[in-house]
Amino acid sequence: MAIKIPRDKLPAVNLRTDTNLLGVAASSNIPESINKITSFLDTTAQRIKAHNDKLREQEIKNFNTKNLSLLTKELQDYNFAIEDNRDADTSLIWGDFTTFYNKTLKRYKDTVYKGKEEEWERFVSHFHSAFNAGKSDLRLIRNNKIKGNAQVSFNLSTEKFKTDINKLPQSSNLVDATKLLLKEFNAEQRHYAQIDKTLVFDAETY
């Protein structure tokens, strides 16, 4: 006897529309996770950059502070050398200082700060300020030297006048010769007294 197989129709299977790949991706939390990771990486990168910038800033300050200290000492040593030099020619002081400035500027820019443009841009104003301060100190030194030289010349002029007066021969021209020496002496003394206000002379004394 033959076996009969039921021929009833199987029920249709209805698939949900969100089971396709696009639908799954759209309904999942993957994009939100990616955004959180991206945000974290951005924040971390910003913090690292801020930290590196801070270190770089301190590095520049340290370098410039050290060099400003060295430059200040150079200027002090230069001025002390002139102050201690009794034979220093005061008429050459400013010309020599200008030469010193130009040489020092070239050395710092081309050697000390070679390849350090950012550091040099920060330092150059301090360089000029240091030289301006050094120039002010040098002006005082020069003025004191001029006054010191004036005092020496004042004293020498006085001694020379006394010597010349004593050497005048007794003659009919004695009075005129004395007046001439006195006129020259007074002119010299007045000149030195104008340079150094502490020098006082009384022409009538002689």
Distances (CA, A) of 149 to 87, 89, 113, 135, 186: 10, 10, 41, 21, 18
For 58-89, the pLDDT digits (tens) are 999 999 999 999 999 999 999 999 998 988 89
Amino acid residing at 130: A
Is a pLDDT exceeding 70 seen at residue 203?
Answer: no
Q: Among all chains, which residue has been given the structure tokens 């050094």?
A: 134
**pLDDT per residue over 109-150, tens digit each?**
999 999 999 999 999 999 999 999 999 999 999 988 888 777
| Total-model pTM | 0.61
Per-residue pLDDT, averaged over 190-203, amounts to 66
**Percentage of residues in the chain having pLDDT higher than 90:** 37
**Alpha-carbon gap, residue 74 to 134, rounded angstroms:** 10
Euclidean distance between CA atoms 129 and 109, whole angstroms: 15
Task: Please state, in angstroms and rounded to a whole number, the distance separating the CA atoms of residues 51 and 65.
Answer: 21
Mean pLDDT of the chain: 80
Confidence of residue 102 (pLDDT cuts 50, 70, 90): very high
Look at residue 174 in the predicted model and tell me its pLDDT. 76
Task: Show the tokens assigned to 15.
Answer: 């698939």
Q: Would you say residue 38 has pLDDT above 80?
A: no
Q: Which residues of 148-183 are buried (b: 16+ CB within 10 A; e: fewer)?
A: ebbbebbeebbeebeeeeeeeeeeeeeeeeeeebee
Separation between Cα atoms, residue 121 and residue 118, nearest integer Å? 5
The pLDDT of 176-195, averaged and rounded, is: 75
Q: What is the pLDDT of residue 120?
A: 96
In this predicted structure, what is the pLDDT of residue 5? 55
pLDDT tens string 140-177: 999 888 887 777 676 777 777 777 777 777 777 777 77
Alpha-carbon distances, residue 62 vs 118, 119, 196 (angstroms)? 13, 10, 45
